[in-house]
Amino acid sequence: MIPSFYSPYAHGFIRACVCIPRLRVADPEFNTAQTLSLAKQASTMGAAVALFPELGLSAYSNEDLFHQDALLEATLAALGSLVKASLDLSPVLLVGAPLRFDGALFNCAIAIYQGRILGITPKTYLPNYREFYEKRQFTSGRDAIVSEVTLFGERIPFGNDLIYDAVNIPGFVLHTEICEDVWTPIPPSTFAALAGASVLANLSASNITIGKAEYRKTLCATQSGRCVAAYLYSAAGPGESTTDLAWDGHALIYENNEMLAEASRFASEEQIITADIDLERLAQERMRLTSFQDTRGDYREQVRAIRRISYEYEIPTLPAAALLRPLEDFPYVPSDLKERDAHCYEAYNIQVHGLMKRLASTGIPNIVIGVSGGLDSTQAMIVAARTMDRLGLPRTNILGYTMPGFATSDGTKANALALMDALGVTSTEIDIRPSCLQMLRDINHPFGKNGEPLYDITFENVQAGERTSHLFRLANYNNALVLGTGDLSEMALGWATYGVGDQMSHYNVNASVPKTLIQYLLRWVIASEQFDGKVGALLQAILDTEISPELVPHTPGIEGGGIQSTQEKIGPYELQDFHIYYTTRYGFRPSKVAYLAHCAWGDKYDLATIKKWLGVFLFRFFQTSQFKRSAMPNGPKIGSGGSLSPRGDWRAPSDSEATVWLQELEENVP
């Protein structure tokens, strides 16, 4: 079945559940009924995999009862009933049970899918310290002498070297390990990941002690990050014996070091947590990380020893737009306030320290900056001010120039002048209209000859060019460095004139800062009182101003004569920054970017609007503006979202075509 555009399965996601059933010690029939009940819930939710705790069919805390034939035989019968009941369920069930083979008892993870057992993984590392005495009851999987076992009349792969490959879903490769396995220096899941497993699952019991929950989270996060994989974790919950221990039913889902879901701890009833895992994101990351591939080569013998169990997975039907995972509508700006503040603090200081180094290394004590009263030049200005403070230089070394043109509004001009005054920089106003008129006359442009209102691209760029020419010559004259102001969003969309201030400078502190982050940086500067209240009030006024290049005069009452709106021309920055992030950071196909945007922004923009602006971005990014990025000035990389520096994160030909991206968008987005 081919999933609908609105299904996560159409875009490289699979749904995972971690289940914590309520158990009874040494009561396999009851435990299996609870397991099956949660498995059915997971199936109703369209899950591809459902993970259960260690030894969940028998309970973990049986101790020497594991050596009782009655318990082992009852557990085996319960497992058989679960296998039969799984026939019509959507997920691969990963359940735990004690199983006896060749006279040895193993603590096992059993992978069950639609009426059959795909394989059985015995626990490798048996803890035998403090409260744990597993070697008293169990044999380690490394000591198994068989690679297949007979169970319920079938020959089944057996060993700690198994991964399960759903051949019809690229990247959906499962591995199981059990509790202590991940607490070791080299967990079995490490080699499984190197062999291609992208979803690592840990069936755990894990009694709770003070502080242990945070350590579990650290283990799962770091293992998922090191292995560039998803990591599912289940711990035993209500019903286990409390003779000497307690249990908190901790369930976790991580993806490449990011938490997707966590259960409530110490719940009195059963629980199930769910998240959609992005297999394509994991594949993209592994493809990019040369160190991951190098490690595969270093351990090629261990990787080759992993056995791949292939099967075909039946994709479930899911409701429209049912994406279950954290999805930031502003991917460059964390939604969590504490995390956002830390993010802004780091970004601001990276900008400051980058500029400090550049001034120190050049020996140039002065900065020239064009101040428009807009967002970008404002951010560059306050970074420059703090840089001078850190270097012990007077802010008067910042030479700020506001250069009104034919369409400069009174409001932006007033804000620019007031901001420079409030910051204590050297402020100058230069009217560029005379020099622009001379240029327009020199090139025989109608506006220069007789003032006819031909507001074409030449009219606009003459103003941008005159400003830049002034800034560079002022820098020469004043032994100064021209500080760039253009941001990452403008460079991605090509919304910058080649060779002028948005694209060219001696150093650009905003080079890898998207427009949406600049807005939040200014809000953070206000809230954290980096400057006095007068500066804060001006920053808020600038934030409240319409984003505009102010190059074409505003003509009230004339159609098309309103204030120039950047976002009406190239799309809303909040939406375009979303497209930029997922296209450049992960290389996702346009239809997936559109789907994610629909999930994040569907309450504000319908799919047709998203498709329209995504098409604008794709054409401008891939076909018309790379030559501008290839000549970008130096500037510090700010975040993991990447930069577009031709020396760093983005190296691309200037004369490529956008055809394949636009075709994919048109053919796959309804």
Written as one string, the DSSP assignment of 540-582 is: HHHHTSPP----S---TTSTT-S---HHHHH--HHHHHHHHHH
* Residues 270, 39: Cα–Cα separation, whole Å: 12
Q: Which CATH class is domain 8-311?
A: alpha beta
* Residues 271, 481: Cα–Cα separation, whole Å: 60
Averaged pLDDT in 10-residue chunks for the chain of 670 residues: 88 97 97 98 97 97 96 98 97 98 96 98 94 92 94 96 97 97 96 98 95 96 98 95 92 98 94 98 96 95 96 88 91 94 96 98 97 96 98 98 94 96 97 96 90 89 96 98 97 94 94 97 96 95 93 62 81 98 97 97 97 98 96 93 91 96 98
Catalytic residue among 17, 19, 108, 123: 123
* Residues 8, 13: Cα–Cα separation, whole Å: 5
Q: What is the model's pLDDT at position 2? A: 78
666 is catalytic: no
Catalytic residue among 17, 19, 54, 220: 54
123 is catalytic: yes
Q: What is the model's pLDDT at position 383? A: 98
Q: What is the model's pLDDT at position 1? A: 66
Three-state SS at 401: strand
Check residue 514 and report its DSSP letter. Answer: -
Q: How far is CA 20 from CA 208, 218, 228, 270, 511, in A?
A: 15, 20, 25, 6, 48
Three-state SS at 107: strand
Angle at 381 between CA 376 and CA 382, to 5 degrees: 105
Do β-strands 49-51 and 13-20 pair in parallel, antiparallel, or remain unpaired? parallel
Q: Which two tokens stand for residue 504?
A: 């060219």
Q: What is the model's pLDDT at position 616? A: 98
Catalytic residue among 179, 220, 227, 436: 179
* Residues 273, 260: Cα–Cα separation, whole Å: 10
Check residue 158 and report its DSSP letter. Answer: B
> Letter for the amino acid at 24?
R
Helix H segments across 86-211?
A: 188-194
Nearest of 434, 379, 424 to residue 403 by alpha carbon: 434
- Where residue 443 falls (left for φ over 0; alpha for ψ -120 to 50; beta otherwise) is alpha
Domain ranges of the chain: 8-311, 337-668
Give the number of other Cβ atoms within 10 Å of residue 94's Cβ: 29
611 is catalytic: no
- Where residue 332 falls (left for φ over 0; alpha for ψ -120 to 50; beta otherwise) is alpha
Fold of the domain spanning 337-668: Rossmann fold (3.40.50)
